[in-house]
């Protein structure tokens, strides 16, 4: 921890954050910290303030360091902005861009997305991936929970706790990280992988946005880890457009060499038809109305009550940091696993929300659309 604190001193660690920022409503609570809406007292701009107790989060220090390092190196309108880190006592304040529209996972709670909405979101994710990949960075955890929206409909990638870097001497990674349902076959098999692993996760995310949940979400996450390398790739089924289904099929090619790059996918007909991001404001407004009608029962309380343990075990959105050795061996040798096999200890790292309005720790699965139903809105212009 000493090395971590010293390495951050130049980022403003000696400054008292309570002088420069006003902490307001709590907008999220994770397994080792809280996120608040706040005000930068110097600029009067709204920011998101993540406060982490380093004494309680010793096991997560590496992830926190990784996230700060990656975000501090990013400068893109498609990636959540990082403004600085400040240490006060054992509390680390991480100042981030505030995104008040919620995550894509949040917005699905209010109802299914249309194909037009999905095309916009996927295009913006692709722009973020194109930027990251051009910087030789891998996100490694693309999913709806990690896609945040501003109140204006801007779409940005978030949660870089497991992001990876490809250096001039390392063109492939072999670290076992990600979220089971979204993980590419080559990552699970511990083969060398590169930016194409993010493209597979994007394809799974596309199905998630259409259906309300990723493929195999009814199965135990550990079971899914063994099925993904063995089974044929998931397909988008139902009454969706041919163009949308083809896009998903391109992403979910089991041979990473045959998957298009993010830049190539930006030229796909399904993506090229996507409208402006301002159209996503309708989804954000719908979600706000839904929250009001539900009495805001899903949102995080501004009180200091603890998050219930059962709320911290939503398997389908949890991120694997590293597998235990037994699991690695069985995956590597293509072994099988019983559906009720207990989770390896310390395998999961619950996502902590960054600047979305909802806590992801207690996210509930939205009701999926009626199978076979197409949600394309044919009465709107498809202009860029």
Q: What is the set of active-site residues?
A: 141
CA distance 281 to 104: 12
**Separation of alpha carbons 139 and 376, rounded Å:** 29
Distance CA 182, CA 195 (A): 14
- The tokens describing 145, both together, are 């929970």
Q: CA 28 from chain center: how many Å? A: 15
Q: What distance in Å separates the CA atoms of residue 172 and residue 195, rounded to the nearest whole number? A: 9
As a dihedral over the C-alpha atoms of residue 296, residue 301, residue 305, residue 307, rounded to 10 degrees, the angle is 70
Q: Are 30 and 353 in contact (CB under 8 A)?
A: yes
Cα gap 24→64, rounded to integer Å: 23
Q: Which of 98, 147, 97 is nearest to 123 (CA)?
A: 147
Interacting residues of 12 by C-beta distance below 8 A, sequence separation 6+: 84, 85, 86
Distance (Å, whole) CA 350 – CA 29: 11
- Which residues touch 173 (CB under 8 Å, ≥6 apart)? 138, 164, 166, 192, 193, 194, 197
What tokens does 146 get?
């990690």
Is there a binding annotation on residue 127? no
Question: Using CA atoms, how far apart are residues 161 and 68, in angstroms rounded to an integer?
Answer: 8
Residue 367, C-beta contacts closer than 8 angstroms, at least 6 positions apart: 111, 212
Q: How far is Cα of residue 308 from the mean position of the Cα atoms in its chain?
A: 22
Structure tokens at 235: 């397909």
3-state secondary structure of 381: coil
Residues at the annotated binding site? 50
Residues at the annotated binding site for ATP? 50
């Amino acid at each position: 921890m000493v090395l971590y604190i010293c390495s951050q001193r130049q980022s403003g660690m000696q400054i008292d954050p309570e002088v420069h920022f006003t902490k307001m409503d709590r907008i999220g609570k994770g397994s080792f910290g809280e996120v608040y809406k706040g005000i930068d007292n110097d600029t009067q701009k709204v920011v998101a303030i993540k406060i982490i107790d380093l004494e309680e989060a010793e096991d997560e220090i590496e992830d926190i360091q990784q996230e700060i390092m990656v975000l501090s190196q990013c400068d893109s309108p498609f990636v959540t902005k990082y403004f600085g880190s400040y240490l006060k006592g054992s509390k680390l304040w991480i100042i981030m861009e505030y995104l008040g529209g919620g995550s894509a996972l949040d917005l699905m709670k209010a109802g299914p997305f249309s194909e037009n909405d999905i095309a916009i979101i996927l295009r913006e994710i692709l722009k973020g991936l194109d930027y990251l990949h051009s910087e030789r960075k891998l996100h490694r955890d693309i999913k709806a929970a990690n896609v945040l929206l501003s109140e204006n409909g801007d779409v940005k990638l978030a949660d870089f706790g497991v992001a990876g870097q490809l250096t001039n001497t390392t063109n492939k990674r072999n670290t076992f990280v990600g979220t089971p349902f979204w993980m590419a076959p080559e990552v699970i098999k511990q083969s060398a992988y590169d930016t194409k692993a993010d493209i597979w996760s994007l394809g799974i995310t596309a199905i998630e946005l259409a259906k309300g949940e990723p493929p195999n979400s009814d199965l135990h996450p550990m079971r899914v880890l063994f099925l993904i390398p063995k089974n044929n790739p998931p397909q988008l089924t139902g009454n969706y457009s041919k163009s949308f289904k083809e896009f998903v099929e391109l992403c979910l090619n089991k041979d990473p060499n045959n998957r298009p790059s993010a830049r190539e996918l930006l030229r796909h007909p399904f993506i090229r038809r996507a409208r402006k991001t301002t159209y996503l404001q309708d989804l954000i407004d719908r979600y706000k109305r839904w929250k009001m009608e539900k009495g805001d029962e899903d949102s995080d309380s501004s009180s200091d009550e603890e998050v219930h343990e059962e709320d911290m075990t939503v398997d389908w959105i949890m991120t694997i940091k590293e597998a235990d050795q037994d699991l690695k061996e069985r995956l590597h040798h293509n072994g099988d696993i019983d559906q009720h096999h207990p989770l390896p200890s310390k395998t999961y790292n619950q996502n902590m929300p960054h600047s979305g309005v909802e806590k992801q720790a207690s996210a509930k699965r939205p009701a999926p659309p009626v199978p076979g139903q197409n949600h394309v809105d044919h009465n709107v212009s498809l202009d860029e």
